[in-house]
């Protein structure tokens, strides 16, 4: 965009109030991209913006969808949660986009959710999250807790023989919920309460001396100990550094992380971390031609030979292709038609299998456990024998044990209570669903 145009737009106070409404049949399909390009989350989210742009380019090279080209509308919510809601509204109400790919943090999704529901938009959310949500308008292409946390714990318990658990996380809703679920799950499996240590730290925590020393002490009780880490983003580098320096090797106390992927590792010297684990649904190192092709395209798109791919990128890859398929199936970009069409759509994922959109708006995924290698990659050491379908409502939380989500008619409900046989508990929600 030229500078002149910026100035023009900036100066015109009316720019805000101009509404676009002339929609011709051959207009491009508008794809909103709602990822932070500045602020604290830019570190994770910018690559997702690039991914969607790349996917759009490729789709257009293939002739677009339904003979229409696709066009990216990029905005910057700047890691500011209210701004996420505002930008979502801008995308849907002003720009009239057909679909949004966006968000990383739970709080940003919660902020956007009411807007997307009110304006009946489509949102593809690509990050592993705490579950406990199913919206008519949101498609969760990242992992729910049962697609990441529980298989990982099973692996540690059965393959490594872990008996003592440290659940360490950043203090926000995803680690809180995951740890709650894991705690219940572990106690169900017969782990004693004193064999579980739970620790929360603030965002960006950088001084891990005390905590790592605590973990070390906790691990010297004569039982095999492991750390389940839901530590977020920036705090990981100093955490792993401290682990390495205090001499905790993966063979003593393995750490399995749910938020550390290739992107995060690219900022760490991984030599001291070899053997620590991560659980994801995709690793860049997966030996598969579809994956190698994707990596080649990504490197070409970014022009950086060192560029890495990661799990949320694969989630966008899947989500984007599902959207394209659903639009083809529905023959239109009309939101309600696409919502109907997309359930059951199956597209290839990058790990050699297929991902299907379930009625609860979550998808099927394989769960992979990878060990960190000295080249900043993971090597897959274990994989679930079959695909796991995402569970919107956890079986291990008292409030949601009886709830299921099914967005097919006639049920068409995100909070169906199987015990009472009603949708949600309130008349209000049902009335809203009837509309």
Partner 1 sequence: MWLTRPLQERSTQVFLGVLFAALVVVTFLHLFMPQDSALHVSAFTVTLLGKYLCYALLAVAVDLVWGYLGILSLGHGAFFALGGYAMGMYLMRQIGDRGVYGDPVLPDFMVFLNWLELPWFWHGFEMAWFAFIMVLLAPGLLALVFGFLAFRSRVTGVYLSIITQALTFALMLAFFRNEMGFGGNNGLTDFKDILGFNLRTDATRLGLFIATGIALAIGYVICRGIVTSKLGRVSVACRDAEARTRFLGYRVERVQLFVFVVSAMLAGVAGALYVPQVGIINPSEFSPLFSIEIVVWVALGGRATLYGAVIGAILVNYAKTVFTGIMPDAWLFALGGLFVLVTVFLPKGIAGLLQKRRKAKTDNDTPTGQEATA
Partner 2 sequence: MSICRSLTLLLIALVCLLSLPATAQEDDPGKALLINLADAPASKVEEAVNAIVSSGDERARGWLEAYGNNRLSRVKDTGQVVLVLNNRGRDWEIADPLTGENMGEMSRRELDRVAINNRIRGQLEGILAMLDLNAKDPDVREASAQDMMGKVDASLVAPLEARLEQEENAAVRNRIEEALAIYRVGEGNLEAVDVLAGSLHPRARAALNEAARSDNQELAASATKALESIEQKLKLNRAAETLYFGLSLGSVLVLAAIGLAITFGVMGVINMAHGELIMLGAYTTWGMQQLFPGQPGLALILSIPAGFMVAATAGIIIERSVIQYLKGRPLETLLATFGISLILQQLVRTVISPQNRTVVTPDWMSGSLVINDALSLTLNRLYVLAFALIVFAGLMLIMRKTRLGLEVRAVTQNRAMARSMGIRATRVDIMTFALGSGVAGLAGVALSQLTNVGPNLGQNYIIDSFMVVVFGGVGNLWGTLIAGLSLGTINQLLEPWAGAVLAKIIVLVFIILFIQKRPKGLFPQKGRAAEG
Contacts (CB under 8 A) with partner 2, residues 209-268: 209-211, 213-214, 216-217, 219-223, 234, 237-238, 241-242, 244-247, 250-251, 254, 263-264, 266-268
Using the rule CB under 8 A, give the single segment among 51-59, 118-126, 288-296, 338-346 that binds partner 2: 288-296
Q: CA-to-CA distance for 66 and 333, rounded, in angstroms? A: 9
Comparison of 399 and 410: residue with beta carbon closer to partner 1: 399
Comparison of 78 and 411: residue with beta carbon closer to partner 2: 78
| Secondary structure class of 326 (helix, strand, coil) | helix
Taking 3-state DSSP, the helix, strand and coil percentages for the chain, each rounded to the nearest 5, stand at 40, 20, 40
Buried b (16+ CB within 10 A) or exposed e, 352-375: ebebbbbbbbbbbbbbbbbbbbee
Terminal Cα-to-Cα distance of the chain (whole angstroms): 41
Comparison of 36 and 351: residue with beta carbon closer to partner 1: 36
Q: Report DSSP state, residue 315.
A: H
Rounded to 5°, the CA angle 263-267-273 comes to: 95
Comparison of 163 and 429: residue with beta carbon closer to partner 1: 429
Contact 73, 96 (CB under 8 A): no
When CB distances are held under 5 to 8 angstroms depending on the partner's kind, the choice from partner 2, partner 1, none that residue 303 binds is none
- By C-alpha distance, which of 234, 184, 271, 264 is closest to 79? 234
When CB distances are held under 5 to 8 angstroms depending on the partner's kind, the choice from partner 1, partner 2, none that residue 180 binds is partner 1
Q: Minimum Å distance from CB 61 to partner 2?
A: 22
Phi, psi at 259, each rounded to 5° = -120, 15
Q: Minimum Å distance from CB 313 to partner 2?
A: 13
CA–CA distances in Å: residue 267 to residues 111, 164, 234: 29, 30, 10
Q: Minimum Å distance from CB 388 to partner 2?
A: 21
- Count of alpha carbons within 13 angstroms of residue 434, beta-carbon side: 8
Is 6 near partner 2 (CB under 8 A)?
no
Q: Give me the residues that bind partner 1 (CB under 8 A), please.
A: 1, 5-6, 9-10, 13-19, 21, 37-38, 74-78, 80-83, 85-87, 89-90, 93-94, 105-107, 110-111, 113-115, 118, 132-133, 171-173, 176-177, 180, 200, 202-203, 397-400, 414-415, 417, 424-426, 428-429
- By C-alpha distance, which of 382, 379, 387, 365 is closest to 156? 382
Q: Report DSSP state, residue 27.
A: P
- By C-alpha distance, which of 62, 60, 108, 65 is closest to 88? 108
Contact 33, 75 (CB under 8 A): yes
Q: Minimum Å distance from CB 193 to partner 2?
A: 16
Q: Minimum Å distance from CB 103 to partner 1?
A: 13
Window 296-315: residues binding partner 2 (CB under 8 A): 296, 299, 305-306
Q: CA-to-CA distance for 56 and 64, rounded, in angstroms? A: 8
When CB distances are held under 5 to 8 angstroms depending on the partner's kind, the choice from partner 2, partner 1, none that residue 210 binds is partner 2
Query: x-or-dash pattern for partner 2, window 142-161, by CB under 8 A?
Result: -----------------xx-
When CB distances are held under 5 to 8 angstroms depending on the partner's kind, the choice from partner 2, partner 1, none that residue 360 binds is none
When CB distances are held under 5 to 8 angstroms depending on the partner's kind, the choice from partner 1, partner 2, none that residue 329 binds is none
Helix ranges (DSSP H) in 27-79: 42-61
Q: Minimum Å distance from CB 167 to partner 2?
A: 14
- By C-alpha distance, which of 248, 247, 238 is closest to 269? 238
Give the residue, chosen from 27, 176, 187, 200, that forms a contact with partner 2 under the rule CB under 8 A: 200
When CB distances are held under 5 to 8 angstroms depending on the partner's kind, the choice from partner 1, partner 2, none that residue 246 binds is partner 2
Using the rule CB under 8 A, give the single segment among 183-191, 206-214, 327-335, 346-354 that binds partner 2: 206-214
Q: Minimum Å distance from CB 265 to partner 2?
A: 9
Crossing angle of helices 289-302 and 42-61, rounded to 10°: 100
- Count of alpha carbons within 13 angstroms of residue 417, beta-carbon side: 13
Window 315-374: residues binding partner 2 (CB under 8 A): 371, 373-374
Is 387 near partner 2 (CB under 8 A)?
no
Structure tokens at 241: 């550094």
């Amino acid at each position: 965009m030229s500078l002149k145009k910026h100035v023009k737009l900036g100066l015109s106070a009316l720019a805000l109030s101009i509404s676009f409404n002339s929609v011709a049949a051959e207009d491009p399909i508008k794809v909103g991209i709602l990822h932070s390009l500045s602020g604290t989350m830019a570190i994770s989210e910018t690559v997702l913006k690039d991914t969607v742009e790349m996917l759009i380019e490729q789709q257009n090279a293939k002739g677009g969808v339904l003979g229409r080209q696709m066009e990216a509308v990029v905005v910057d919510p700047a890691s500011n949660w209210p701004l996420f809601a505002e930008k979502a509204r801008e995308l849907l109400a002003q720009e009239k986009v057909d679909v949004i790919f966006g968000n990383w943090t739970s709080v940003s999704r919660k902020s956007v959710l009411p807007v997307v529901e009110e304006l009946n938009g489509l949102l593809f959310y690509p990050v592993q999250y705490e579950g406990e949500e199913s919206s008519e308008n949101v498609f969760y292409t990242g992992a729910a807790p049962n697609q990441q946390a529980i298989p990982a714990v099973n692996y540690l318990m059965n393959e490594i023989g872990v008996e003592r658990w440290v659940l360490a996380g950043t203090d926000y809703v995803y680690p809180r919920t995951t740890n709650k679920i894991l705690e219940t799950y572990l106690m169900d499996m017969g782990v004693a309460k004193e064999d579980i240590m739970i620790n929360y730290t603030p965002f960006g925590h950088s001084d891990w001396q005390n905590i790592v020393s605590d973990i070390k002490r906790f691990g010297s009780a004569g039982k095999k100990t492991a750390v389940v880490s839901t530590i977020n983003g920036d705090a990981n580098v100093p955490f792993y550094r401290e682990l390495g320096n205090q001499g905790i090797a993966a063979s003593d106390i393995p750490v399995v992380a749910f938020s550390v992927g290739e992107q995060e590792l690219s900022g760490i010297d991984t030599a001291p971390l070899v053997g620590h684990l991560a659980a994801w649904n995709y690793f860049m190192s997966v030996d598969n031609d579809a994956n190698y092709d994707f990596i080649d395209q990504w490197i070409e798109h970014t022009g950086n030979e060192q560029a890495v791919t990661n799990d949320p990128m694969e989630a966008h890859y899947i989500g984007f292709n599902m959207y394209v398929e659903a639009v083809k199936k529905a023959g239109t970009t009309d939101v309600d038609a696409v919502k109907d069409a997309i359930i059951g759509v199956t597209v290839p994922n990058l790990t050699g299998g297929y991902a299907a959109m379930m009625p609860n708006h979550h998808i099927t995924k394989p769960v992979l456990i990878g060990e960190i290698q000295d080249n900043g990659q993971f090597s897959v050491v274990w994989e679930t024998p079959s695909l796991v379908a995402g569970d919107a409502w956890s079986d291990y939380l008292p409030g949601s044990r009886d709830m299921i989500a099914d967005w097919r008619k006639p049920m068409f409900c995100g909070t169906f209570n199987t015990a009472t046989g009603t949708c949600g508990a309130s008349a209000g929600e049902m009335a809203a669903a009837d509309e």
